[in-house]
Amino acid sequence: MDRVSSFDEPLKKLLGGATAKVMAEHLDLHTVGDLLHHYPRRYEERGKLTALADLPLDEHVTVVAQVADARILMFNNGQGKRLEVTLTDGSGRLQLVFFGHGVHKPHKELLPGRQAMFAGKVSVFNRKMQLAHPTYQLLDASDADEATEAVDAFAGRLLPIYPACKQLDSWRIAKAVDAVLPSAQDAVDPLPASLREGRGFTPLPEALLKVHRPQTKADIEDAKARLKWDEAFVLQVALARRRYADTQLPAVARRPVEGGLLDAFDAKLPFTLTEGQEKVSKEIFDDLATEHPMHRLLQGEVGSGKTMVALRAMLTVVDAGGQAAMLAPTEVLAQQHHRSITEMMGELADNWGLWREAPLDEGRRSGDGRALGGSEQGTKVVLLTGSMGAAARRQALLDLVTGEAGIVIGTHALIEDKVQFHDLGLVVVDEQHRFGVEQRDALRSKGKQPPHLLVMTATPIPRTVAMTVFGDLETSVLDQLPAGRSPIASHVVPAKDKPHFLARAWERVREEVENGHQAYVVCPRIGDEAEEDGKGAKKAKAKKAAPDEDPEKRPPLAVLEVADELRKGALAGLSVEVLHGRMHPDEKDDVMRRFAAGDVDVLVATTVIEVGVNVPNATAMVIMDADRFGVSQLHQLRGRVGRGSAPGLCLLVSEAHEASPARARLSAVAATLDGFELSRIDLEQRREGDVLGQAQSGVRSSLRMLTVIDDEEVIAAAREEAVAIVAADPELEHLPELRTVLAALLDKEREEYLDKG
């Protein structure tokens, strides 16, 4: 077997079909290499008991603990039997529960004083943490064959605890790892010898052995240091190669034109740009003036003025004779951007005839720098979405291909084959994480030469995440809020524990409306027939199949139901309207216009209002089932209020248990308005794979050991080494091992993951 193929060997050959099937379906492990890179989550020392007090609710856990007591209880007039076992570690207790015929074996084996590994899902019953029907393995019973095997399976005194699932416990995964561990000797080492020796790293085969079967804690540290570096380095080389390839592409330099639209726009602004907006604009202008395509990420706080910066970049490109396209993820957001930009440029439109439909003259055909954007000519700003009428759509397409429109704002409709540009110079992608690489590239390919690219995200991203997720982009940060933005007070409303708090929340909404303001109410679900026929039907079916499920678990609250209840009850007499993604576009637009005009008191909506919606008079937001949203999403939603001179109020309504992680998340959101701090909290509370893998692109992350929040130094150092290596040898001709590992990372799916960011 050669060095590469041993890692590609299907697990079925070594472990058998049944185990391999469970690993593939539930842990996404398919090959020997996958399993060798499935590292232990933590390690238990023999004889040392696990801290039971800090177990996470609703998660599958493995604990090593000692039996304190065990008793059988009868119920249903003696028909039913329940075994309750109490575990202890000296600082906390955990209850195990077994029912029916399942009580006999544990009743004989789980005697007071016995020590064992237990695995199961943590739940709460009668205010006590418990594991119902956990699997277990005895660790100290010399008369039990299984226990002896368990002890023999571990060469050292450190027990590796693997990320597991209900169908496959940690110790069974450990047994499977034993079967593939000899293949660790065939690991292809991606680190150049000089780098490996210079930093004193453990050889890769040895690192794999140490991480799975450590003899000492020092073994674990050695292995982790090496494996983290591998992950950071290979990823940074992939990104450095992308950046290098981008610098080799040609682009048309788009330099500012004196006396053009940008100068006129700046002169008419009723406020002064923030220092941050000036600084970021300069970074963008410098990039636009080069003959290689700009690839820049613009990230910033909610309401920091990213659209203003993007518009100034677009006007610069128009002034220089090109066209600019802004791609928005939803029709609501595209319409909002179109409205915002036309409002921002309103005075110019009156003075300079920005929307004037002039024939295409010779100056435009020849690419005269002032023709498309100069003050003599003006330009058009058009909207292009999938729901536009045929006539409006035809006119928009004509304006783009002739160059009459200098700026276009649109949805996925911009990507269609029939959309052609006269001279596309800049692509602005809003909310980058909602678009795939195919969509981004489809729009960029419409330029005669690669256009400049500006990616915007309203979700603040810690530096290390920017270096990994958006590593092929240069980063600009807007962390100042424009003058005049008001503070937002945020509070958690525990609707289940304190129902009167919810009643008070609706009173506060009424008070805001009485004071001349408006409010949003956000719900996780629409609640219409289309939804019920789809997801709802599946949920109902699942519910039927699981009669033991917690009856307190209910579907998320829905816009249509909540709006109806509010109209009849707590907000009776107020003008309450709904907004969600399945409404007809004209209807959505009508509701948003009337809300923006102040004709609607309360807007009950889904997350369609999450980004881009700007109604300064809206001062209050009530988020129902707030625990069903992520930290960053809550921060985004909250940013819709406090956009005027009056202070904002955000109420996070939840029925989650006070001690649950969900409530901890809500308390964190309520405690700070710092988006960067919240993004760190968000990352710390989620698995790394969620952040860099499935949550971003639907595929598994390549990172197993590296933690982007904690390993900033490793990532920064790896990036530096990667840049130097790629600059010296872009094709990695002298580093065949690195090229081999890179090819494995950059298979079709993972290349897509890198591009999506």
- Please tell me the predicted confidence (pLDDT) of residue 699: 29
Does residue 508 sit in helix, strand or coil? helix
From its phi and psi, is residue 632 left (phi > 0), alpha (psi between -120 and 50) or beta? alpha
For the ranges 20-34, 336-350, 412-426, which has the lowest average pLDDT? 336-350
Does residue 115 sit in helix, strand or coil? strand
pLDDT category of residue 751 using cuts at 50, 70 and 90: very low
**In contact, 160 and 46? CB cutoff 8 Å:** no
| The three-state (H, E, C) secondary structure of 665-730, written as one string | HHHHHHHCCCHHHHHHHHHHHCCHHHHHHHHHHCCCCCCCCCCCCCCHHHHHHHHHHHHHHHHHCC
**What digits encode the pLDDT tens for the residues 546-586?**
333 333 468 899 999 999 999 999 999 999 999 998 888 78
pLDDT category of residue 366 using cuts at 50, 70 and 90: very low
Reply yes or no on whether the pLDDT at 523 is more than 70: yes
**What digits encode the pLDDT tens for the residues 526-549?**
987 665 555 444 444 433 333 333
| Cα(429)–Cα(413) distance, integer angstroms | 14
**In contact, 624 and 522? CB cutoff 8 Å:** yes
- Please tell me the predicted confidence (pLDDT) of residue 206: 96
Print burial letters for 627-656: b (CB count within 10 Å at least 16), e (below 16): bbbbbbbbbbbbbbbbbbebebbbbbbbbb
Does residue 25 sit in helix, strand or coil? helix
pLDDT category of residue 172 using cuts at 50, 70 and 90: confident
Does residue 59 sit in helix, strand or coil? coil
The two tokens of residue 619 are: 């001062």
- Separation of CA 380 from chain center: 35
Mean pLDDT over each residue of the chain, to the nearest integer: 81
Does residue 102 sit in helix, strand or coil? helix
The two tokens of residue 647 are: 């202070």
Say which amino acid occupies 683.
L
| Cα(403)–Cα(318) distance, integer angstroms | 10
| Cα(90)–Cα(108) distance, integer angstroms | 24
Query: Does the CA dihedral 103-109-112-115 come out positive or negative?
Result: negative
From the CA atom positions of the chain, what is the Rg in Å?
30
**In contact, 284 and 477? CB cutoff 8 Å:** no
Which ranges of 301-436 does DSSP label H, i.e. alpha helix? 306-319, 331-344, 346-352, 362-365, 390-402
| Cα(744)–Cα(325) distance, integer angstroms | 35
The two tokens of residue 486 are: 């008001």
**What digits encode the pLDDT tens for the residues 260-298?**
899 988 888 878 888 999 999 999 999 999 999 998 989
Threshold 0.95, pTM exceeds? no
pLDDT category of residue 718 using cuts at 50, 70 and 90: very high
565 closest CA partner among 626, 503, 609: 503
pLDDT category of residue 675 using cuts at 50, 70 and 90: confident
pLDDT category of residue 746 using cuts at 50, 70 and 90: low
| Cα(681)–Cα(709) distance, integer angstroms | 10
276 closest CA partner among 239, 302, 305, 256: 305
For residue 42, the 8-state DSSP code is: E
pLDDT category of residue 365 using cuts at 50, 70 and 90: very low
Reply yes or no on whether the pLDDT at 686 is more than 90: no
For the ranges 1-5, 90-94, 364-368, which has the lowest average pLDDT? 364-368
**What digits encode the pLDDT tens for the residues 11-42?**
888 888 889 999 998 888 988 988 999 999 88
Q: Phi/psi of residue 700, each to 5°?
A: -70, 140
Say which amino acid occupies 131.
L
Q: How many CA atoms lie within 13 A of 457 on its CB side?
A: 25
- Please tell me the predicted confidence (pLDDT) of residue 5: 59
For residue 163, the 8-state DSSP code is: -
670 closest CA partner among 490, 540, 458: 490
- Please tell me the predicted confidence (pLDDT) of residue 623: 97
- Beta-bridge partners for 576: 602
**In contact, 706 and 688? CB cutoff 8 Å:** yes
- Beta-bridge partners for 381: 407
753 closest CA partner among 430, 464, 433: 433
- Please tell me the predicted confidence (pLDDT) of residue 700: 40
